[in-house]
Structure formats: C-alpha cells, structure tokens
Structure 1
Amino acid sequence: MSDSAITYTLYVQADPARVWQALTEPAFTRRYWGPVFETDWAVGSTMDWVERGVRTSDPEQVVLDCVPHRLLSYTWHTFTPQWAASVGIGEELRAELAGERRTKVTYEIEPVGDALARLTILHEGFEPGGSLIGMCSRAWPMIASSLKTLLETGAPLPEPEGESPGHGGG
C-alpha cells in the first residue's frame, strides 16, 4: 500500500472464468460483498451500485476496461446521503468521502495452473492521507477473503460483528 493506492493479490482455487463470474454477477457480489453492480460491463457504460435497497447512480461511475476472464476496471462509487444512511455512515464522514477525488479499481485475473487463478486488486487515485484510503485498506482484505472463501467452499465469510464488507467506502 502507498499513500494513494492499495494493491492486494490473492490466489484462488478456481479458474479465471469462475473468478470473473464472482466479480461481475450479482448473485456472487451480493453474497461476499453486499453491493450488486447493474451494468452491461461495456467500456464507457455506467454502473449502478445497489446495496441494502439503495441505488447509487452517477454518470462518472463507469466501466473503464473490460476483458472477460482477464481484466476489469471501473471508477469507484459516488457517496450519496442515501448510501451513507443505508450503511450507517454519518453525514460528516460521507461529506468528507464525497469531497475526495474519485478513485479507480482494477482487477487482473491470471491463470496459474489448471484450477488456480491469481487475482490482483489495484485500487488507486486516493487522496494521500484521506479517509477513503483508510476505510478501503481495511475493507479490501475482508472483501477479497470472502470472495476467495465463497469460490473455494461455496459460502462467504461471515460478517464481523458491527461491520459490513461494503463499509470500505464501497
């Protein structure tokens, strides 16, 4: 981790196509993370984030790159009052997050043998010293671990008490 980026690499006992499903299909993202992404995954398409009954839409919340089973990149989401209320974040922190520049998430999926994939998550463009990088640096390990556990066992990790994987500002 630097002062403006988070990189997290994990190995998943699943082929790249299955990891891709976990990153893009609502039936998966809802189980290990919480939000569902409504988009067609075409470059330039907007992404609606739907979490806990709240839809977050923004014309700058878009797919940046998409190569099925290999690469996915999108802008990080918009911090609305409705989203904050649904996940239990106060207005002061929400306003602080909204005031920081929009970040970008990139997933690289690489095959490693027959049924093993290396997934690298790069979340970059943070305001150095900002609140968002701190929140996301705590959330990404839980989100990635829950994704890995779901793919390898069929069940995501349980939510730690008082937390939601989506509370990473995402």
Structure 2
Amino acid sequence: MGGDAFVYLARIKTTPRELWRALTEPQFTERYWGLSFDTDWAPGSPMTWAERGGSIADPGQRVLEADPPRRLAYTWHTFTPEWAERARVGEDALAAIAAEPRSQVAFDLEPGAGTVRLKVTHDGFEPGSRVRGMVVEGWPELVSSLKTLLETGEPLPG
C-alpha cells in the first residue's frame, strides 16, 4: 500500500457471506452502486464493468485477489469517453484521469460480534492524483449506501 492510499472503514450489521455477495453479485451491486461486474471472480480473470447503459471492457481490468468471504481486490476501471459522458466528466478531466496509472481497490472483511468490519483500501495513486480525489468523495457515499442496503433492505436514495 502506497503513501497515497485511501482507506475507509465501516462496521456493517451483516454476515461476511452477505457482505461478500453484496460486493460481487449484480442483484446487490446494481441497487447500491448502479453497476454490475461481468467476471467469474477468479484471480487473474478479466472484469467488465456495466453501468448506466454502457460497459467498460479492457484487458487491464482484472481480479487481483478473491478469498471469499475475507478479501477481494481488483484493478479500477478504464476511463473511456463513453464512461465520461455517462458520468458527466468533461474532456479535460477525462484526459487528466485517463493519463494516470491504473489504481486498484481491496475489500477486507473481518467478522465481529454481530457485525463485519469492512476495510476499503484504494491505492496505486501518484501524488496529486485526480482519481484519488474522486474516490475520496465516492467511497464514503458508496459504503454508506451498501451498509444501509444490508441493514435495512433499501439503499440510500439516489
């Protein structure tokens, strides 16, 4: 983990198996994240990201680790013009983030007394990374919606 890693911790009232499912299965990810992954979750396998009516497939998008229900890690998606249009990211911002090295995210699940401690580590950033700035804002919102979904049955409103 590099010095510019972003780490976010949450306790979620669920089981490790349910949290794993929520991180990997489309019927969950689509509800709190608005996307799904097409992959078999085997280390080294490719991942296609599907969101907002489009998909992102790139050879660099790979599963890095999968140890259910303890640890999941994968490379972050490729920033394409189609993604930028769907995400409302301007051309200048797209050029800047597309020029950065690919980052990666890891989810560590640790069972506790009636809860699971989720540690999200997103790293691989260069100093001053614009992508890091985006994930610093994104992960807390996303994990909050995931937590709410698992604890109440409904994600946070869009």
| TM interval, short-chain normalised | over 0.9
2:100 alignment partner in structure 1: 100
Query: 2:14 aligned with 1:11, yes or no?
Result: no
For the residues of structure 1 that align with 2:49 and 2:19, how far apart are their CA atoms? 20
- Match for 1:127: what amino acid? E
Unmatched segments (≥5 aa) in structure 2: none
Whichever structure has more strand as a proportion of its residues is: 2
Query: 2:145 aligned with 1:146, yes or no?
Result: yes
- Whether contact under 8 Å (1:150, 1:157) holds in the other structure is yes
Cα distance per residue 1:64-85 (max 9 Å; x no partner) = 0000110000001100001111
Shift of 1:3: 5.9
Change (3 A) 1:3 1:94: farther
Unmatched segments (≥5 aa) in structure 1: 160-170
2:60 alignment partner in structure 1: 60
2:86 alignment partner in structure 1: 86
Counting matched residue pairs gives: 157
For the residues of structure 1 that align with 2:34 and 2:79, how far apart are their CA atoms? 16
2:20 alignment partner in structure 1: 20
Shift of 1:128: 1.2
Task: Output the TM-score relative to the length of structure 1.
Answer: 0.90
- Match for 1:44: what amino acid? G
Cα distance per residue 1:29-59 (max 9 Å; x no partner) = 1111112111000000000000101110111
The SS at the match of 2:60 is coil
Query: 2:133 aligned with 1:134, yes or no?
Result: yes
For the residues of structure 1 that align with 2:73 and 2:145, how far apart are their CA atoms? 20
- Match for 2:145: what amino acid? S
Shift of 1:130: 1.6
The SS at the match of 1:61 is strand
- Match for 1:98: what amino acid? A
Q: Alignment identity in percent? A: 50
- Match for 2:66: what amino acid? C
Shift of 1:157: 0.8
For the residues of structure 1 that align with 2:24 and 2:121, how far apart are their CA atoms? 16
CA RMSD of aligned residues (A): 1.1
Task: Output the TM-score relative to the length of structure 2.
Answer: 0.96
